[in-house]
Structure 1
Amino acid sequence: MTDFDPQDLERITARAEEMLARVEELRSEIDVVVGRGEAADGQVRVTAGASGRLQDVVLAPRAMRLDSQKLAEAVLRAAQEAQDDVARRVEAVMAGTLGASLPDQQLLDDRFGNVLESLETSLEEQLQAIDERRGDLR
């Protein structure tokens, strides 16, 4: 049986609070990140926000001379470049804030699953110990 140490919970809680503060800091930094893309020799320019949403599309007067198919392709290409650019910038901000590149999502999922499993096992053992002690008192 694993003994529960209240100090472990305090350490976990303190660490979680630190992580939440870092996440909030990171979120505020990421909110202002923008990416830019262009196509058709700079005649089509697009800006995207950190969420990937397009914020601005600028078509220079010369871009209007393109046929509709070419103009659509240029807008799409510039939008994709802007989204790729903002993704790179967000990753750089996150890596700078976290001090290293982000771990693989599957690795995070596995670790989180292991922590949850460990906590569940510990809780079950504690509940079982409480039930046994109740039985001894009867």
Structure 2
Amino acid sequence: MNDFDPEDLERITARAEEMLARVEELRSEIDVVVGRGEAADGQVRVTAGASGRLMDVVLAPRALRMDSVRLAEAVLRAAQEAQDDVGRRVDDVMAGTLGDGAGGPVEDVLDDLFPNMLESLEASMAEQLQAIDDRRKEAS
């Protein structure tokens, strides 16, 4: 039989707060991550944010002399490089915050982290509530 200890609840709450703080720290760090890519000998430069959304496209005057097909290919190549770069940078931030085992896209890690955290908290809370219920039954 489990005995309810208020310190267990405090420990569970403190752990949940620590985990939420780590996730918030991770999100704050990732929000400012940008990636850069270029093509056509640097005449086309693209910046992408952590979400993969393009933030900036810079075309040098010489790039405007390219035919439309080559220019479109250069923009696409630079955008892909920027997105790859931001992905690497986000992985680095996550590895630094969550440890080397993190890896993978940020959405995957966060999607895994929250359910695991909630599952752990729910299991601990269920155990503590059962202990309380057992003690009430004993007292009756």
Deviant stretches of 4+, over 6 Å: none
Name the count of aligned residue pairs.
135
After superposition, residues 13-28 of structure 1 pair within 5 angstroms as 13-28=13-28
What's the Cα RMSD here? 3.0
CA-to-partner distance for each residue in 1:107-138, whole Å, 9 max, x for gaps?
A: 758845753663475367457637845xx84x
Map of 2:120 onto structure 1: 115
Q: Which runs of 5+ in 1 are unaligned?
A: none
Between stretches 12-21 and 123-132, larger displacement belongs to: 123-132
How high is the TM-score relative to the length of structure 1? 0.75
Q: Flag the 1:7–1:123 CA change in 2: closer, same or farther, 3 A.
A: closer
How high is the TM-score relative to the length of structure 2? 0.74
Identity of aligned residues (%): 68
- Residue 25 of structure 1 deviates from its aligned partner by 2.5
Secondary structure in 1 matching 2:96? helix
The structure whose Rg is larger is 1
Q: Which runs of 5+ in 2 are unaligned?
A: none
Q: Flag the 1:75–1:103 CA change in 2: closer, same or farther, 3 A.
A: closer
Partner of residue 134 from structure 2, selected from 115, 120, 129? 129
